[in-house]
Amino acid sequence: MGHNLLKGKRGIIFGALDELSIAWKTAERAHEEGATFVLTNAPIAMRMGKINELAAKTGSEIIPADATDEADLEALVSKSMEILGGKIDFVLHSIGMSVNVRKGREYTDQKYDWTAKGWDVSALSFHKVMQTLYKADAMSEWGSILALTYMAAQRTFPDYNDMADNKAYLESIARSFGYFFGTEKKVRVNTISQSPTPTTAGKGVKGFDAFINYAEKMSPLGNATASECADYSITLFSDLTRKVTMQNLFHDGGFSSTGVSQQIIDSFSE
């Protein structure tokens, strides 16, 4: 399956929880394409997940780190360079969490300390990761940094709750930091706006099954899977996309450009 697209490249992958997660699939693909990388996740997620299996399978080391903690991130970056033997070529930020969603609080009835926690984990952590890499001069020239997002940053999906605001903030950070990383370090920064995907995180959203069916019917090519997202991520880590930066890239089977599909019209005319 591999084409050696990432041969000799070194990376850090945040957020692999189990085989459903996009980060997990991306790690498997990066390994197939010849990359070496460090896996990292929050200590609690590591207890819940199966990251050790993935590490064994891809010959990777695991460094636990809280992505909201600057000291943890500094240790992660220096240890990663030590383990991998040089600067970092690619980084995947695949983390998101809303306490309000998890505890069933409506958007109109948020507990703001929960909101702040979710924002820190889902959005500000992306800035913290990049600032840490930037200050340590840890990225190789023409390196690639990527975060995962969702179209609720642009359009309203009522049940996506405060995660929509987190994703809007995340995408803005990619553009803002992308400017400095590009002009000063020749590093690119992008976000992938993925279809609704049945991951452990995704399935936490209310009405998810109905919504994924709707998105499937609205997308000319159907929903993009976690494996397909991993493939797309590999192209963005490769040298084939060196001049793509500060973009929010829709990977959604055409959903974001479709006003209405014949399938949806038909379902209302029955």
3 inside domain: no
What's the average model confidence in pLDDT over 65-88? 98
Domain count, the chain: 1
CA atoms within 13 A on the CB side of 268: 7
pTM of the model: 0.97
Nearest in space to 92 (alpha carbons), one of 152, 174, 154, 32: 174
Q: Which helix (H) or strand (E) holds 268?
A: helix 262-269
Q: Helix crossing, 226-237 with 22-32: angle to 10°?
A: 50
Which tens digit of pLDDT belongs to each residue from 164-177?
Answer: 999 999 999 999 99
Assess if residue 101 is contained within a domain.
Answer: yes
User: Would 37 be classed as within a structural domain?
Assistant: yes
On whether the CB atoms of residues 88 and 76 are closer than 8 A, the answer is no
The pLDDT score that the predictor gives to residue 207 is: 86
- On whether the CB atoms of residues 123 and 173 are closer than 8 A, the answer is yes
- 229: CATH: 3.40.50.720
Token pair for residue 259?
Answer: 């006003």
Section 174-194 average pLDDT: 98
Average pLDDT in the 236-263 region? 98
Residue 173's Cβ-side half-sphere holds a number of Cα atoms within 13 Å equal to 25
- Which strand (E) or helix (H) includes residue 193? strand 188-194
pLDDT computed for residue 44 by the predictor: 85
Q: Residue 237's closest CA among 1, 18, 27, 84?
A: 27
What residue numbers bound the domain in which 41 lies?
10-269
